Amino acid sequence: MLEGINVNLRAMEPEDISLISDWLNNVDFQGRYTPLIQRSKEEMKKRFGEISDDQKLFIIEKKDGSKIGIILYFIVKGGPYNLLEIGYYMVLSERKKGYCSEAVKLFIDFLFLSQAIKRIQATTDIRNQASRKVLEKAGFTKEGTMRKALYMKGDWVDISLFSILRDEWKESKILKF
Ligand SMILES: CC(C)(COP(=O)(O)OP(=O)(O)OC[C@H]1O[C@@H](n2cnc3c(N)ncnc32)[C@H](O)[C@@H]1OP(=O)(O)O)[C@@H](O)C(=O)NCCC(=O)NCCS
């Protein structure tokens, strides 16, 4: 368990698959700026439930143990390099309360402290202001725009690429160890 100030991050367990599946198949939970995806519980289990160093999903919990969102990382494989990317979702009733910003800061601490990586990246629809603010508050810098990079809800959309380097992070902000 990664303990923050208002939220904790808990590595996903097999019994979380059902909830994760319900969340990720709900178009309101997906939000306006993520692709429309529907997967069976079996597909979710295959995608998130298999033990792999290439991706890991955590449940964002409040201090009372209630589950309020998801944060994950995955390795983008390509050419001579592997890039670590993060993604996150919050339940509607707990948005705009600062929980995601804290979860991302905590996750960045965890990733730089546990993985020998130089950078962490995130991509987001250029219109997704909430996601952009979450990243900027956690110290990410916008690297540029990937034009027409993602097919989403019937259209090709522009995606912002953000990153934070280990040198910019410097030290743990929230995670105590
Ligand atoms: C993106 C998301 C995870 C943000 O979660 P959150 O818990 O609401 O984020 P926070 O409360 O930490 O808010 C961060 C900042 O964004 C702002 N914000 C939140 N929702 C916003 C919105 N809809 N429009 C504009 N700004 C918004 C907050 O006010 C806050 O800024 P502030 O600190 O200057 O006040 C949430 O909106 C969500 O789950 N969206 C759907 C899935 C998604 O888009 N995920 C990202 C994919 S890249």
Could you give the 3-state DSSP secondary structure of residue 58?
strand
Instruction: Report the separation in Å between the CA atom of 168 and the middle of ligand 1, taken as the mean of its atom positions.
Output: 23
* H-run or E-run covering 84: strand 81-90
Does ligand 1 come within 6 angstroms of the Cβ of 142?
no
User: Are 94 and 41 spatial neighbours (Cβ–Cβ below 8 Å)?
Assistant: no
User: Are 109 and 172 spatial neighbours (Cβ–Cβ below 8 Å)?
Assistant: yes
pLDDT, mean over the chain = 95
Ligand 1 mutation pick, 88, 95, 137, max ligand atoms within 8 A of CB: 95
User: Are 102 and 5 spatial neighbours (Cβ–Cβ below 8 Å)?
Assistant: yes
DSSP per residue, 112-169:
HHHS--SEEEEEEETT-HHHHHHHHHTT-EEEEEEEEEEEETTEEEEEEEEEEEHHHH
Q: φ and ψ at 161, to 5 degrees?
A: -105, 120
> Among 49, 64, 170, which residue's Cα sits nearest to residue 108?
170
15-25: per-residue pLDDT in tens? 999 999 999 99
The residues, ordered by sequence, that sit 6+ positions from 136 with a Cβ below 8 Å of its Cβ are: none
Between CA 157 and CA 165, with CA 160 as vertex, the angle to 5 degrees is 155
Whole-number pLDDT of residue 149: 97
Q: Domain boundaries in the chain?
A: 2-169
Ligand 1 mutation pick, 96, 157, 158, max ligand atoms within 8 A of CB: 96
Integer CA distances (angstroms), 106 to 9, 22, 28, 155, in order: 8, 25, 25, 34
Q: In the CATH scheme, what architecture does the domain 2-169 have?
A: 3-Layer(aba) Sandwich (3.40)
75-89: per-residue pLDDT in tens? 998 777 789 999 999
Instruction: Report the separation in Å between the CA atom of 72 and the middle of ligand 1, taken as the mean of its atom positions.
Output: 16
33-69: per-residue pLDDT in tens? 999 999 999 999 998 888 888 899 999 999 999 999 9
Whole-number pLDDT of residue 173: 92
Instruction: Report the separation in Å between the CA atom of 116 and the middle of ligand 1, taken as the mean of its atom positions.
Output: 29
